[in-house]
Amino acid sequence: MNAPRLFTITLNPAIDQTVRLDRLLPGEVHRALGEQTEAGGKGIGVAAVLAALGRPVTASGWLGADNDAVFRAAFAERGITDGMLRLPGATRTNIKLAVAERGDSTDINLPGLALAPEALQAAEQQLGERLDAAVAPGDWCELAGSLPPGTDAGLWERLARRLAARGAQIVIDTGGAVLGTLLARLADPARGPVVPVAFIKPNRAELEELVARPLHDTLAVADAAQALCQTHGVRQIVVSLGGQGAVMADGQGRWQAAAPAVTVATTVGAGDALVAGTLAALMDGQTLPVAGVFGMACAAARIQRIAPGLPPRQEVTELAARIRATPI
Ligand SMILES: O=P(O)(O)OC[C@H]1O[C@](O)(CO)[C@@H](O)[C@@H]1O
C-alpha cells in the first residue's frame, strides 16, 4: 500500500487579516504597527504545516470564487494540492489582533460564506464526488474548523460516513456543540455503521463542553480525555492547554507535556500546527506521546511568526528535544 496522505477539509475558510498592535485598550483609538494578510481556516493552516514538513497534502473543501487569489498563491507557494471547490461569493475575512504587550492574539471570526440551500446541496454533492475520486483506503481526512451559515453537524456527519466508507482515518478539529453532536452521532449504531475517529484535538474549554463539567486540573483533563476514548470510540486525543502545554490520551495511557517558553508573535494557528505535527508523526507510526511532542514543537515554532508554515526543520527538532511527555 502507498504511504497514507492527508486531506484537510475546510468548509469555512478565512482570509486572516492580522493587525499588529503594541497594546489593546477596548474603546480607544489604536495606531497599528503593521498588517499582514494570509490564507487561513483550520484545514488550510494544517496543510501549510504538513507541506512545510515535506508531506503530500491536499486542501479540500470550498472557497468563495470572488477572492480566491490569496489561497491560490498560498497553495502554489507552499506545495499544497488545491482540492477546493470554488463557489459563488467571497470567503470571509477574519480579523486577528496580535498584541505585543500580551503576547497573544484576539480573534474576530466572521460567520462565513452563506449559500442558498440548493447551492449548499450541490456543493456537498460535488465535494463528496471529488473526495470519492481522490481518497484511498488508509488516507487520513481532517474535518476542520467551523461550519458555514445554514449548515449543521449533519454535513460533517455525512462527509465523515462517506470518507470512512472509503477506508479513510477520520480526524476532527471542530469546536462547540458541533463536536459533541458529531462524536455522539458517529458512535451511535442506531444511525448506521459506527465510525471510529482516529484523532481529535479539543482545547480545555471544548473538552469541558464535551463532558459537560469544569476540568480544573491536568488530572481532571486526562480523566475526561481518556473517558472520551472509551465512550466515543476516539483512538487518540491531544488536549491543547495553550501556554500550559498539552495532555494526551489513548487506550494505552495518558501523558502531559509542558510547552517550551518561546517569544510569541501570534497565537493564531497554534492549534493547527499542533494537529499537523501530531498527525505527521502518527502517520509515520509513532506512538501518541512521541507524536504529541512533535506536534507541540511545531506549535511552538509556528507561534513565533505570523505567516503560516514552519521555520527550518532543525529549529522544530531542537524545540521537540526541549519537550518531555510524562505519564500521569
Ligand atoms: O473555523 P473557525 O473556528 O472560525 O476558525 C477559523 C480560524 O482558525 C484558524 O484556522 C486558526 O486556527 C484561522 O486561520 C481562522 O481565521
Torsional sign, CA 127, 128, 130, 136 = positive
What is the predicted pLDDT for the residue at 175? 86
Q: Three-state DSSP class for 63?
A: strand
Residue 272 known to be catalytic: yes
271 lines ligand 1 (CB under 6 A): yes
pLDDT in tens, 184-222: 999 999 999 999 999 999 999 999 999 999 999 999 999
Given a cut of 80, is residue 146 above it in pLDDT? yes
Given a cut of 70, is residue 80 above it in pLDDT? yes
180 lines ligand 1 (CB under 6 A): no
For residues 73 and 127, what is the distance between their CA atoms, to the nearest angstrom? 22
Torsional sign, CA 304, 204, 318, 77 = negative
Total count of residues recorded for the chain: 328
109 lines ligand 1 (CB under 6 A): yes
94 lines ligand 1 (CB under 6 A): yes
Query: How is 114-159 classified by DSSP, letter by letter?
Result: ---HHHHHHHHHHHHHHHHHH--TT-EEEEESPPPTT--HHHHHHH
Q: Which of 11, 37, 93, 109 to mutate to test the pocket of ligand 1 (most atoms within 8 A of CB)?
A: 109
The interface predicted TM-score (ipTM) is 0.98
Shortest-distance atom of ligand 1 to CA 10:
1
CA 110 / ligand 1 centre spacing (Å): 10
Q: In this structure, which amino acid lies at residue 190?
A: A
pLDDT in tens, 229-247: 998 889 999 999 998 999 9
pLDDT in tens, 277-294: 999 999 999 999 999 999
Confidence at 1, pLDDT banded by 50, 70, 90: low
For residues 72 and 76, what is the distance between their CA atoms, to the nearest angstrom? 6
C-alpha cell at 43: 484545514
Q: Quick one: average pLDDT of 149-166?
A: 98
Confidence at 3, pLDDT banded by 50, 70, 90: confident
Shortest-distance atom of ligand 1 to CA 107:
16
